[in-house]
Structures are given as structure tokens and as C-alpha cells.
Chains A and B, each alone.
Chain A
Amino acid sequence: MFQFPSILLSLITLPLLAILVILMIPETRPNLVKTFSLWTSIIVFIISLFLWLSFDLSTPKYQFVEPFFSVPYSNMNVFIGVDGISLFFVILTTFLIPLCLLASWDSIKFSIKEYNIAFLLMGSLLICVFTVLDVLFFYIFFEAILIPMFLVIGIWGSRERKIRASLQFFIYTLVGSVLMLLAILTMYAQTGTTDIQVLQTISFSQELQIVFWLAFFASFAVKVPMVPVHLWLPEAHSEAATAGSVILAGILLKMGGYGFLRFSIPLFPDASIYFTPLVYTLSAIAVIYTSLTTLRQVDMKRLIAYSSVAHMGFVTIGMFTMNIQGIEGSIFLMLSHGIVSSALFLCVGVIYDRHKTRIINYYSGLTVAMPIYSIIFLFFILANMGLPGTSSFVSEFMVLAATFKSNIFITVLAATGGVWGAAYSLWLYNRTAFGNIRLTYISNFQDVDRREFFVFLPCIILVLLMGIYPEVFLNIMHVSVQNLVEQVQ
């Protein structure tokens, strides 16, 4: 197709320009603020689709590369570009931001301007994270996202524990990240460059690789999150507003996975192979432990948050199998989880908006009064479980098949995760949707309205599309992932 000049730069700067405009809109016109930011995010999404359309499938090199900025008098030139691995993260970001803005249309009642500004800023920073081809600036944007996310959780969150949740989120992530900063600085001192394309040609010694890998692991393990540093996730998810949870589950977790794929594995291949048993163990524990913990939860969002941890356990297993199927499966699982988890949080958000509570015991018999909502909810619960025909089945199958080639014990453990997943998903749906309805005020039981339906519709279509014909998405990743695997061997 045709080449849009500096398409990535426009993806990054358009939300920033929109922020400037929104700053001028007075507080007395909230609808204008909301409409404007929504249209901007939709336009950004459409532009990112052009990335997909004009992507060249046959090369593992970075495409749409353009200089971002350069520090004069030093050899630090920062480029931005996508390859097969990062393309879909960019599209996922631009896909989720309009959904978040649309979902929080009615539920955010105060400081609407600042809220929309925070989300557009996060969108811009996220695209920077996924496209920048420089380790130091990846770190800078990785950290910079903490500020708006911290404010979104803390200000527009729902309950008293939100402050504790946002503090935990902030400090956990910060501790891991500063160790990564030290590793990056040492790398710069030793090699003299922070450009990824140059660093991939440099090989470090085994001991140095191990130290660097551990420092990077500290940061990514908190982000992913892996057991035992996953404690911030259930807190942050359950206390944030709906859209905050969506962006957190949909994209912020993927930053950790992306970090592993872009930095830990290609730059430190020997250390990655060395530490594979560690990652397998932690991920298997994550899958089994968190899935079992979900059965004890009383809060719906916390349940879905723990299931997020379980899915990301699958992701890390897939990534460290070091074969094409595994890595493609893990990327696909990240994408699918991004959509399914976000949709589940949106479902919870729908009934939270109506009843103002997330306790599972409170709800029963939703099918009677809200049939359309129940179907949508059922669809995403089945997708969460890994029902064949949905994207999660495809991805989990690929991951398990790849793990089988490398380590059968872990495959068995991870495969039991499918059983636990079914257990808590069906339990959640059963308790809330089926049974006898307790009717109170009829206005609380209104079915999904048009806006909410249009929030769910793209998710449903995407999940089905990814599940029935995943090759559309997978063929982009083939060459890049193959390149990655060859680097490791």
C-alpha cells in the first residue's frame, strides 16, 4: 500500500496536540472534551491500521524507521520503528485507548478534562515505549508512564484502598526499574551505545550477561507480573476505575512481556537459556497458585486480576521456550489477553456503574433482566477459559505445544491451568448470571445501552477473528520471531 510519511511520529504527536487543545476547553463543556478526545483516539487508531496495511512481511528488519531525536555532540541518535513483534502492541494500544475513553463516558463525574488528558498522554507514551529503538529511552518512557497511571488509580479510583494500591504499584515498579537503569548505564559505559540495532550485534560475556539479565528481569518481572512480585496487580486493578483497569491489564502488563522479547532474550541469549528453569518455575507457580486463589475472591475485579496473572504466567512460559511456535504463541496470547481481559473488566464496569458494588455474592440472576449483557459476558468468560474458536485457545495451544518440546513437566503443570481457568471462570459466571434474580430498583437492571454495546462489539469481533483465522495476525510475526530465535541459537 502507500507509505505515510513519518507515520509513527504522527501517532505519537497527535495525542499530544490533542492534549494541548483539550487544555483550552473550559470545564463547563465536558461533552466537548470527551467527544474531541474520542475522535482523536479513533483517528490515531485508523492511522495505526495503515502501519499494518503497509507492513512488509518478508523482512525481520525494523520498518518505518525514522529519527525521533538526537542528542547533539554525542552519538546518541534515537530512532523509532516497528517490526513484527512490536507492530501489534502498537495497534493494541491505539485500539484500547478509544475503548477506555468510550467506557468511561458516564462513569467519571469530576475532573473530566484531566482524566482525558491522562489517557491521551498514556497513549502517546505507550506508543513511544513500543516503538523506540534505544534502551535508555525505552527505560525513560517505561518509567514515565508511572506518573499518569499513578494519578489515574489514585484520583479516580473507587475505594479507600486506592491510595495504598497506587502507592504499591508505584514503589514496586520503581524498585525493579532502577536496577534496570543501572544495568543500562553499565552497558552504555562498556559498549558506548544504547541503540538496539547496534547492541544486538554485540555479545557480552556469560557472567556479564547473567548480571544484566537479572537486573532487567527485576524490572520486567514486576511489570509482567510474576510471582512473587505480583502483589501490586490485584490491588491496582480492583481499585482503579474501569478504564484504568482496562489500560492496565490490556497494555501495561504487555510492556513487561515486550521488554523480555525485545531486550532480555536478544541481548542476553546465553543468560536467557541459563535462567529458563527459573522462569518456568515462577510461571508455573503463577499459573497454578493464582488460578486457585481466584476461587477465594469476593471481588469480581480482583478475580479477573488474578486470572490476568495466570495468563501472563502462560506468556512467560511461552517466551522462554525459545522456539518459533512458543514465542508466537506468547505474543498472540498477550494480544488475546489484552482484548479478553479488557473486555472482562469492561463487563464488570457495566454492572459496577449500575449497582456500585463488585461483590460476587451480591449478584445473581442477571440473565433474567440483562440478556444481551449476559451473552456478551458469557462470550468473554468462555474466551478467558480458552474455548476453541476464541483467540485464547489458539495461543494457549501454541504455547503448550512449544513447551512440550522443551520440558514435559512444565507442560503438564501449565496445562492444568486450563482446568483451573475453567473452574473460576464458570464459577464467576454461574454465580452472577444464573440463579434467581433479586429485583430492587428497575433502573439498576437496564441492559447494555448502545454506547456500551459498541464498546464490546469490536472486542467480540476481534476475539472471534483471532480464534478462527489467526494466520491473519500470525503471518506478520513469523519472520521477526524466526530472526529472534536464530539469534538465540
Chain B
Amino acid sequence: MNFFNFFENDFLVIFPELFIATVIVFLLSYGVIFSTSEHYKNPALAVNLSWLTFFTLGIAFLLSINNSLSSMVIFNNLLIIDPFTTLIKAFILLSSMVCILISINYLNYQKINTFEYSLLILLSVLGMLCLVSTYDLLSLYLSVELMSLSFYILAAYKRNSEFSGEAGLKYFILGAFSSGLLLFGSSILYGFTGMTNFEDIAKLLSGLGSISDPISYNGIVIGILFVSIALLFKVAAAPFHMWSPDVYEGSPTPVTAFFSSVPKVALLALFVRLFFYTFYNFIPIWQDLLLISAMISMVWGSIAALSQKRIKRLMAYSGIVNIGYMLIGIASGTTIGLTHLLVYLFIYVIMTIGFFSFILGTQNHKTKALNVYLLDLTNLGKTNVVLGLTVSLILFSMIGLPPLAGFFGKMYLFFAAMNSKLYAVGILGVLSSVVAAFYYIRLIKLMFFEMSSKKYTLYKQMDQLNAYVLSISLFLLIIFMGSSEVLLMSCRRISLLVSL
């Protein structure tokens, strides 16, 4: 048989990934050749490559949404492309584009001249795109590793900062550990089912009311548990979240922005593929696991965040709490839960990127340093009312106050929980969101309410890109109430296609 007939359509549907892979090679050679060339006097190509990466991701986005075929399994059942993956890939590409935009100012001010930053982001995006379309335990591991390896280096990117190196090391050790767990779980699953393909496992597991052999049953359960726990490690859900505050705080700020928003999307899409499709019949097992993890995340995250003094650490804990909410959406196991989870993901990414664009844009007038401590935000409402109001609105959305978008996201998720009769989780969730409100309000209080401290920081004018990102994200959060039908409908349509 002609080899290329076999893969006739396959290369067509993975154009985005192919394009990104090719461009990575090109940009790498471009970067190496030109930044070491004496003729051009060793230019610092970091910003240049960032813009090239931005456009690469843009073209990849256009390629991904213009898929000529809508749904197929390719490469010998290794990858799947369907409307769900297309939506998630488009979203990942868009949010990575925005993350690159907000990092350009940082590269300038930190005088980071090495161009590999954008390349690492491209590599991790490639890993994430493959992760979203995996259909096999092996390709799952490969994509997770590709994504995570780039993350380890990104976390340690600032070479002259001890803190950054420590963050990278911590992330690497824990990431490698969780990948090991993932492999262990996959191998157990392979051992007891004899297959690694998601579709095959799904058909095997769904065809039985119960696997009659208790050893096999327990074996599969252990496999599922190890795989889920490994993925919970990666997504920083409690009680496997210990690495995330340190890593988020030590990494350079645009990397933190990237970490808090984009991998969560990819990993949650993977969760959906695994739990709603492959392991769906074992729902009594993983529903409890995810619910417990969600409850601990929400409670621990909101209480621990109360005592934080630094902004990035606060955002790390807030990320943990949000992952808790999203795990409720997955644990509910219904189409409604999935739809609302997708909507909440969308809103969460916008809020996070908006907030981080604010952090990256506000530089001290004299020292050009970014805000590190919460107290650096004192009296922002007096020095720059518009900026203070913008951030307050984003924070109000994070608390979940109507009529901003964050409220609707939370309401949809709690509705999914109530619909699946998960009452305890719902009550715990809303109470933890009240506790969470407290530390967001503290930020607003620092900015606006005149306290006895006359301390204030004068900021440089925010650069253009960060200002655009901040304003557009706030705009999207505000208009959500009136314009959410399109989003809701597309999510609903797509989520109906995911389940068996």
C-alpha cells in the first residue's frame, strides 16, 4: 500500500501544528544566525521574535478555524480533530497571542535580549495543541511533556535571579514527578485493558456494567486514579497545588500570566476528553475524587490567600480557587456542566489576562520596577482614577458580583452543580467565594479608600499594548451580560458532540 495514501488527509487537518513546528525551526535558525552575526552587530532579537511569534500564532489561529475537515481521527488513531478541539485550539492560540503582547514591554524593561522566550512559548503552544487533540495515552504523555518541558525553562528564564531559578527547579521536580505518575497510571491501564487508545478504552469500559473480575476492575480504578492525580498535579488543584505559589511568584511576570491562563485551558480540555469520553462509566470513582479536590481547592485556596502580601502569590492562590470551581463543572458529569465550564474558562482567561496586563503595565516612574507587594497599589484611585476603576471592575468580576461576567460564570457553574445534586459542593463553593471576596476587596480598599497612609506610587504611563489588552478585556467582561448568547450557544453545541 502506498504509504502516503494512508495518511492522505491527516497532514491536512494538522496544518496549525505543522505550521507552528516549521516556524519554530525557522525562527530558531533565524534567531541563532542573526543574533550572533558580527555583521549586524549582534542585535537583541527578543522583541523582534515576539512579534514574529505573535503573527505566527495568528496565522495558526486562522488555519485552525478554517479546517477543511470537521471531524476525524488521524495518524493511526493517535490524534483526533473535532469541533471541540477546534474551539479549544482557537482559544489557546488567541490567548497565547495576547500573552505575547503583554510580555513585550517586560522584555524591553528587563533588557532580556535572549530571543528564546517567544520560541519557548511557541513550543509550549505546540505541546498544548497536541494535548488538546490527543486520543491515545502515549500521545497524551508526549504532549504533556512537550508542554511542561518548555514551561520548566520558562519559569527559570531570568538568569540573574535566584528566585526564578528556584521556581524553575521546583516546577521541574514536581512536573517530572507528576509525569512519572502519569506514566505509571497509563501503564497500569494498558496492563489491565490491553489498549492505549481512548476510543478503545471507552468502548471497553462502557460495554460492561461491571468488569466481573475484581482484580481487573481495581486495576483499572488504580490506573484511572493515578492518571487523574497526575493531571491534578499539573493543573495545580489542591491538595496537589503546593508548587504553584512558589513557581508563580518566582517566574518572570509575563510567564506567570501565561501559566495562569493558557495551560489551564489545555489541561481542562484534556480532562474533558478523558473523563467525559474515556472514563465516563467509572464516574462514581472519579466524580468523588474531583469533588474532593475541588472542595479542598476552594477552601484552602481562599483561606490561604487571605494572608498573602504579594500580588503574584495572591493570583496563584486565586488560580487554585478558580480551578476548584472548574473541577466542579467537570465533576458534574452532565452536558450542562461541560457547557458552563467552557463559558467559565473563557471568562476566567479574560479576567486573568486583564489583571496581569495591569500588573505588567504599571511601572514605577523612577525605578521602572513592577509592583510586587499588595501595598504598592495604595492610593491608585487617587493618582490614576481611570486605572483604579478599571482594575476595580476586573476585581469585582473576579469576586463574582453581578452584572459583570465573573458572576455569570460562577452562577452557571453553581447551577451545573445544583443540577447534578451536588449540594454540599455548591454551598461550600459559594461560601468560599465570599471568603475570596475579602482579599479582592482588600485590593480595592487599598486603591480607593483613603487610609491614614499617605504612601502612593507614581506610575509611568502604561505602554500601548498593555493598555489595549487591559481595556479590551474589561470591555469583554462588561458586555457579557447582554451578549453572551453566542458564546453559550456555541459551547452548548460543541459540548453535545463530545460525549459518546
Contact = CB atoms under 8 A, between A and B. Distances in A.
A255 interface: no
Contact of B402 (A143, A179, A189): A143
B430 interface: yes
29 contacts: A72-B485, A73-B488, A140-B402, A141-B402, A143-B402, A144-B403, A146-B401, A147-B401, A154-B445, A154-B449, A155-B448, A155-B450, A163-B445, A163-B449, A163-B451, A167-B445, A170-B441, A171-B437, A174-B437, A178-B430, A181-B411, A181-B430, A182-B414, A182-B418, A185-B415, A185-B426, A186-B418, A186-B423, A189-B415
Contact of A182 (B403, B430, B437, B489): B430
A175 B434 contact: yes
B427 interface: yes
Interface residues of B, number: 30
Nearest to B481: A140
A72 B489 CA distance: 9
Contacts of B433: 178
Contacts of B427: 179, 182
- Interface centre among B431, B445, B449, B452, by most chain A C-beta atoms within 10 angstroms, is B449
A174 B432 CA distance: 11
A162 interface: yes
Interface in A139-189: 139-141, 143-144, 146-147, 151, 154-155, 160, 162-163, 166-167, 170-171, 174-175, 178-179, 181-182, 185-186, 188-189
Contact of B418 (A69, A73, A185): A185
B329 to A, nearest CB: 14
B402 A185 contact: no
Given A154-B448, A170-B437, 16 more contacts: A72-B485, A73-B488, A73-B489, A143-B407, A151-B448, A155-B449, A155-B450, A160-B452, A163-B445, A166-B449, A167-B445, A170-B441, A171-B437, A178-B430, A179-B427, A188-B415
B449 A171 contact: no
* Complex A-B, nearest 3 residue pairs according to Cβ-Cβ distance, in ascending order: A178-B430, A140-B402, A189-B419
A171 B438 contact: yes
Contacts of A163: 445, 449, 451
B396 interface: yes
A181 B441 CA distance: 20
B485 A73 contact: yes
What does DSSP make chain A's interface, helix, strand, loop or mixed? helix
A139 B426 CA distance: 17
A442 interface: no
Given A155-B449, A162-B449, A163-B449, A182 B426 contact: yes
A71 interface: yes
Contact of B411 (A69, A141, A162, A185): A185
A183 B433 CA distance: 16
A140 B430 contact: no
B37 to A, nearest CB: 54
Nearest to A136: B411
A43 B427 CA distance: 44
Nearest to B484: A71
A146 B449 CA distance: 16
Contacts of B407: 140, 143
Contacts of A181: 411, 414, 430
A299 to B, nearest CB: 20
Interface string A199-218: 00000000000000000000
Nearest to A70: B485
Contacts of B452: 160
Interface of B: 396, 401-403, 407, 411, 414-415, 418-419, 423, 426-427, 430-431, 433-434, 437-438, 441, 445, 448-452, 482, 485, 488-489
Contacts of B482: 69
B423 to A, nearest CB: 8
Contacts of B426: 182, 185
A162 B411 CA distance: 31
A185 B441 contact: no
Interface string A71-89: 1110000000000000000
A442 B419 CA distance: 68
A69 B402 CA distance: 16
A72 B427 CA distance: 29
A330 B324 CA distance: 44
Contact of B434 (A139, A171, A188, A189): A171
Contacts of A166: 449
A321 B434 CA distance: 34
A178 B411 contact: no
Contacts of B431: 175, 178
A175 B431 CA distance: 7
Contacts of A147: 396, 401
A236 B451 CA distance: 17
Contact of B401 (A71, A143, A186): A143
A144 B423 CA distance: 25
Contacts of A154: 445, 448-449
Contacts of A174: 434, 437
Nearest to A188: B415
A143 B410 CA distance: 14
B84 to A, nearest CB: 20
A436 B450 CA distance: 38
A332 B259 CA distance: 57
A185 B414 contact: yes
Contacts of B489: 73
B402 A144 contact: yes
B486 to A, nearest CB: 9
A170 B401 CA distance: 11
Residue in B401, B414, B451, B489 whose Cβ sees the most chain A Cβ within 10 Å: B401
Nearest to B415: A185
Contacts of B423: 182, 186
A171 B23 CA distance: 51
A218 to B, nearest CB: 11
A167 B437 CA distance: 10
B485 A71 contact: yes
B231 to A, nearest CB: 28
A182 to B, nearest CB: 5
Contacts of B415: 185, 188-189
A188 B412 CA distance: 12
A355 to B, nearest CB: 22
Nearest to B446: A163
Interface string A128-146: 0000000000011101101
B344 to A, nearest CB: 14
Contacts of A144: 401-403
Nearest to B445: A163
A463 B426 CA distance: 46
A167 B449 CA distance: 11
- Most central of B414, B418, B450 by chain A CB within 10 Å: B418
Contacts of B438: 171
